A and B are shown apart, each in its own frame.
Chain A
Amino acid sequence: MDFGFKLSPSSAVNLDTVDHARYDRLVQLVPDALTCIGCGSCSATCTAAPWSGMSVRKVLLGLQRGRDDEVDSMLSKCMLCGKCTMVCPRGINTRHLILTLCRLSRKGEVVR
């Protein structure tokens, strides 16, 4: 049937189908990641953020919402300076978290 218009792919997050294997593996390896409150301190303090959009907060959220391309693009911009680790109110070792994540495939296997 022709409705005279096309549907573009939905930008809605469908939690029924999101694959969060990589997130599940990450929180096994870095359980503190579960305690993120999304306060944005990491992003606000990140030296790479203003030009690259890097944000630990968005990385953690992206992993749980099936935004793998965005996550990988952000990770590639991190300079591993560790500034974010200094400010996290939950005491998450965010630098270690990023390093751990870089070693995981999208399926959550340790590949490096």
Chain B
Amino acid sequence: MVNRTPVIAIIGAGIAGLEAARQLSALGYEPVLIEKAPVTGGHVAEWNRLFPDMSPAADLVQSLEAATAKVRTMTGTEIASINRLKDGYSLVLSDGNILVCQAVLFATGFHLFDASKKEEYGYGIYDRVITNRDLEQWFNTRQDERIRHPKAVGFVHCVGSRDVKAGNTQCSKVCCITAIKEAIEVKEAFPDAEVYCFYMDLRLYGKKYEDFYIRAQRDLGIHFIRGRVSEVGEDIDGRVVVKAEDTLSGKPVKVTLDLLVLMSGIVCNPDAQSYAQQIGVAIDDDGFLKSRNNLGSIVESSRPGVFFAGACTGAKTIPETLAEARSAALAIHHYFNNRG
């Protein structure tokens, strides 16, 4: 064992998995990426331009893929079961192979909340109701039957987040800034459209985020309405009618729109829970993987040899995810050093 290069199984080849693989290779380890989807890059590969720099998502994903080109990567592969060994873990893969490793890194990311679960918002029922993911896809392809030169567009914040009824009390953290980013992009694409954001609180905590808000207000005239949308209907022309309370004036508001974008939140990935249970790794009460603590040991699990990076422990921005991936690689390095 002593002279062999330790193998680290990385579950998930989103940006967290890719960045960790790059760092672990550089540190002399042998990372193996196991990716369920046919391609790597995770959610970021679905986005178009990224806040706060508005740089193309594809550039980031491609640079991470280039940096990990030599890492053994199994796409389209799932894990059938995962077991604890005396000195590591063994993973039974969906192709029948078994991977024995000395450490496991969860980089399983998040799931986007299924907006059709909030029936009152009409996703999957009304034609003109789409999600943040659909809109990013439209930015990438400019093809979507539902988006035809809208004159009025609305964004609904907190869809499936901060919502006891949806089973998620947590804030998804990235969707306020994403909504404003997308609102700006929509306004730029359709300058004559009125654009509304319906929010409960605006959480714009990151570097340069407030600048997006100011730009949306001052340069683009985007309307911010402080009230949570209570229900959405459809009128005879197929336009959507949105109802909310404008809590700042204390009056009910109604507006008819050509397009309504639901900001689906970040929720836990049930696969990660299942693997965690099989090897006795703790799950937090929000359903995400539970870090040893949330201050200095976010990337460490409750079990030796099991580590976390990125959105598998909760909502994260890209810089946070990348920083955690590096931090996890270093934590794994120390883990092997201390074992001697």
Query: A residues engaging B (CB < 8 A)?
Result: 37-45, 49-50, 55, 57-58, 87-91
| Interface check B61, CB cutoff 8 A | no
Q: Which of B227-253 contact A (CB under 8 A)?
A: 227-231, 243-247, 250, 252-253
The answer to whether A44 touches B229 (Cβ under 8 A) is: yes
Closest to B228 in A: A39
What residues make up the interface of B, taking CB atoms closer than 8 Å to A?
120, 158, 162-165, 200-201, 226-231, 243-247, 250, 252-253
Name the contact of A87 in the complex, choosing from B162, B200, B201, B230 (C-beta under 8 A): B230
A91 touches B228 (CB 8 A): no
B163 touches A89 (CB 8 A): yes
- Asked if B245 and A41 sit within 8 Å, CB to CB, the answer is yes
CB atoms of A39 and B247 under 8 A apart:
yes
Instruction: Out of A37, A45, A89, name the residue touching B243 (CB < 8 Å).
Output: A45
- Point out which of A44, A50, A88 has the most chain B C-beta atoms below 10 A from its C-beta: A44
- Chain A proximity of B229: nearest CB distance (Å): 7
| Complex Cα–Cα for A44 and B158 (A) | 16
With CB as the reference atom, state the residue of chain A lying closest to B168.
A89
Can you name 30 A-B pairs with beta carbons within 8 Å? A37-B200, A38-B247, A39-B228, A39-B247, A40-B244, A40-B245, A40-B247, A41-B227, A41-B230, A42-B230, A43-B245, A44-B227, A44-B229, A44-B244, A44-B252, A44-B253, A45-B230, A45-B231, A49-B252, A50-B252, A57-B245, A58-B250, A87-B231, A89-B158, A89-B162, A89-B163, A89-B165, A89-B228, A90-B164, A91-B164
Query: A40-B246, A88-B164 provided; 11 other pairs, C-beta below 8 A?
Result: A39-B227, A40-B244, A41-B245, A44-B228, A44-B231, A44-B244, A44-B253, A49-B252, A55-B245, A87-B230, A91-B164
Chain B residues with Cβ under 8 A from A88's Cβ? 164-165
Chain A CB within 10 A, most for which of B120, B246, B252: B252
Q: Closest residue to B200 on the A side, CB-wise?
A: A39
Of A45, A55, A91, most buried by chain B (CB within 10 Å of CB) is A45
Chain B residue at minimal CB-CB distance from A50: B252
Our pick among B164, B226, B245 for the contact of A89 (Cβ within 8 Å) is B164
Cα–Cα distance between A44 and B227 once the two chains are bound (Å):
9
Bound form: Cα–Cα A43–B228 in Å: 10
Would you list the 3 A-B pairs with minimal beta carbon distance, nearest first?
A40-B245, A91-B164, A44-B230
Contact in complex: B243, A44 (CB < 8 Å): yes
A55 to B246 alpha-carbon distance, docked (Å): 12
Q: Which residues of A contact B252 (CB under 8 A)?
A: 43-44, 49-50
Using A50-B252, A89-B163 as known contacts, say yes or no to A40 and B227 having CB atoms under 8 A apart: yes
Complex CA distance for A40 and B253, rounded to whole angstroms:
11
Q: Look across to chain A and name the residue whose beta carbon is closest to the beta carbon of B245.
A: A40
| CA distance in complex: A50, B245 (Å) | 10
Residues on B with beta carbons closer than 8 Å to the beta carbon of A42: 230
Identify which of A50, A57, A58, A87 gathers the most chain B CB atoms within 10 Å of its CB: A87
A41 in complex: contacting residue of B201, B226, B228, B250, CB < 8 Å = B228
B165: A residues at CB distance < 8 A: 87-89, 91
What residues of B have a CB within 8 angstroms of the CB of A87 in the complex?
A: 120, 165, 230-231
Instruction: A16 to B47: give the CA distance in the assembly, Å.
Output: 51
A55 to B250, CA, bound (A): 9
CB distance from B285 to the nearest CB of A (A): 15
